[in-house]
Amino acid sequence: MSSSLSPVGGPRLSRPSWLSPRVLRTEVLAGLVVALALIPEAISFSILAGVDPRVGLFASFTMAVTIAVCGGRPAMISAATGAVALVVAPLVRDHGLQYLIAAVIVGGILQVVLAVLGVARLMRFIPRSVMVGFVNALAILVFAAQVPHLIGVPWLVYPLVAIALAIIVGLPRLTRAVPAPLVAIVVLTLFTVLTHVAVPTVGDEGELPHSLPVLGLPDIPYTGQTLQIIAPYALGIALVGLMESLMTAKLVDDITDTHSNKTRESWGQGVANIVTGFFGGMGGCAMIGQTMINVKVSGARTRLSTFLAGVFLLVLVVTLGDVVAVIPMAALVAVMVIVTVSTFDWHSVSPATLKRMPAGETIVMVSTVAVVLATSNLAIGVVVGVLVAMVIFARRVAHIVEVTSVVDPNGGTRTYSVQGELFFASSNDVVYQFDYAGDPDNIVIDLSRAHVWDASSVAALDAITTKYAARGKTVEITGLNRPSAQMHGTLAGRLNVGH
């Protein structure tokens, strides 16, 4: 926290930015809008996981409140998520809720361990094209989740959704004093209540809780066999949760032009899941949809909005459950449709961009989106996207190694100059750039403009030396930089290269 001098010369601490009336109003209203949007999502994810709606709602409360304190990315929303629900659904089906709670606690512990080991630093290896694919796939999944609310419903739902969309898009042009999504929710709720029209409501999604969550331990046998059962699911919760949370944090960094502490966010997610497990929740991670509502639509920027989203959620479902239950789903669908439109990177699919963009970048983005849509799992899509990017990069780099040669005036020595990066994908081709039969007896391989990266490259150099030695010719390798010389000196002649 920054400090300044008071008028009498003493130090005076500056107050937090969220205490400003304007910022405070934005944060409070943003938290309220997010809380309203979280309710149907948490209920839906509970049903997806095969547990009571209260499990998802309590998880969203504890995740949001805990991450507001422990997290490394202010204004990011964490709650019960579909990705985690997909991971744990088989565990709930086969072993029940108590095993799920145990898996959430162990998953949180694993996240803390991974954070200490520096997993957040791996984020720099995720290419931009994978990030774009992640965002676009998430937008499509968010939109797809709204489609069931628009099929087989009364015709009045469609004009209600249209009215809500018009309010959300049009109101900010007149005033930004209150978040447009909140206005849309209030207007549609008042209309449906006063006119007594029959349309799907939040209450139709599942029973809302009437009491506070209770702290406790999972009722399971504490044995090695139990650990074997929950361990794979706990690892899945940890990896999926960290991947989605760190990707979302990076996205918010870009939107707000600020930097977040990814290591703190990693262990913060772990602490949040541990707390959630002890309160009987289903676990979760960062939610990009609700985060976009909070940051992009409502303009929130501090931890207060995240904290209040969790508090408002609990207050709404426990004390005002009857009021929340009558909110028409049409209003929340409209909010999520706007989130979808604002989340999707439309520039990435414009004809002009696709024409300029290298084909490899487009392939990586499309691969990421395709795998996410096929598996409904963002983590798998990101992993596949990174692997595709690695293959394309390796192929690209492998073709920029150049070998040239000159023969000295007396014809007794030929010098080969190798330029580029020598690694497993490029070194195999280098072997065939030498004239083993036609070269003179003395060969010099100059690597002053190359770098030896791996054992495959050393094995390739050994193969070249062996081929010349079989013809009674000598080879001298020169120009190795220090790391290359160290690797070559350690491995040369010890890799069993055949004749």
pLDDT at site 195: 93
Q: Are strands 413-422 and 402-407 parallel, antiparallel or unpaired?
A: antiparallel
Tell which wins on pLDDT, 186 or 110: 110
Q: How far apart are CA 371 and CA 361, in angstroms?
A: 16
pLDDT, tens digit, for every residue of 371-380? 988 887 777 8
Query: Mean pLDDT across the stretch 133-157?
Result: 87
Is pLDDT at 499 greater than 50 in this prediction? no
| Tokens (6 digits) for 229 | 């059962």
pTM for the model stands at: 0.71
Query: Mean pLDDT across the stretch 129-137?
Result: 86
Q: Which residue's entry shows tokens 């070998």?
A: 403
Mean pLDDT of the chain: 87
pLDDT at site 17: 64
Beta carbons within 8 Å of 443's beta carbon, 6+ residues apart: 413, 414, 415, 416, 434, 468, 473, 474, 475, 476
Query: Mean pLDDT across the stretch 8-24?
Result: 64
Q: Is 159 left (phi over 0), alpha (psi -120 to 50) or beta?
A: alpha
Is pLDDT at 130 greater than 80 in this prediction? yes
pLDDT at site 493: 80
**Is 170 exposed, middle or buried (CB count within 10 Å of its CB: 0-12, 13-18, 19+)?**
exposed
pLDDT at site 172: 86
Is pLDDT at 5 greater than 50 in this prediction? no
Enter the DSSP assignment of 120. G
Enter the DSSP assignment of 294. I
pLDDT band at 2 (very low <50, low <70, confident <90, very high): very low
pLDDT at site 13: 53
Enter the DSSP assignment of 147. G
Q: How far apart are CA 245 and CA 266, in angstroms?
A: 8
Beta carbons within 8 Å of 59's beta carbon, 6+ residues apart: 42, 79, 80, 276, 281, 282, 283, 284
- The one-letter code for the residue type at 19 is L
pLDDT at site 430: 86
pLDDT band at 1 (very low <50, low <70, confident <90, very high): very low
pLDDT band at 336 (very low <50, low <70, confident <90, very high): confident
pLDDT at site 421: 87
Task: Lowest mean pLDDT of 15-19, 178-182, 235-239, 406-410, name the range.
Answer: 15-19
Is pLDDT at 332 greater than 90 in this prediction? no
pLDDT band at 19 (very low <50, low <70, confident <90, very high): low
Query: Mean pLDDT across the stretch 54-80?
Result: 94
pLDDT at site 78: 96
pLDDT, tens digit, for every residue of 165-213? 999 899 888 887 777 888 888 899 999 999 999 999 888 877 777 778 8
Helices (H), 10-125: 21-49, 53-70, 82-95, 97-116
CA distances for 129 relative to 367, 368, 394, angstroms? 10, 9, 16
Is pLDDT at 45 greater than 70 in this prediction? yes
Task: Lowest mean pLDDT of 63-77, 213-227, 418-432, name the range.
Answer: 418-432
- The one-letter code for the residue type at 213 is P
Query: Mean pLDDT across the stretch 459-467?
Result: 90
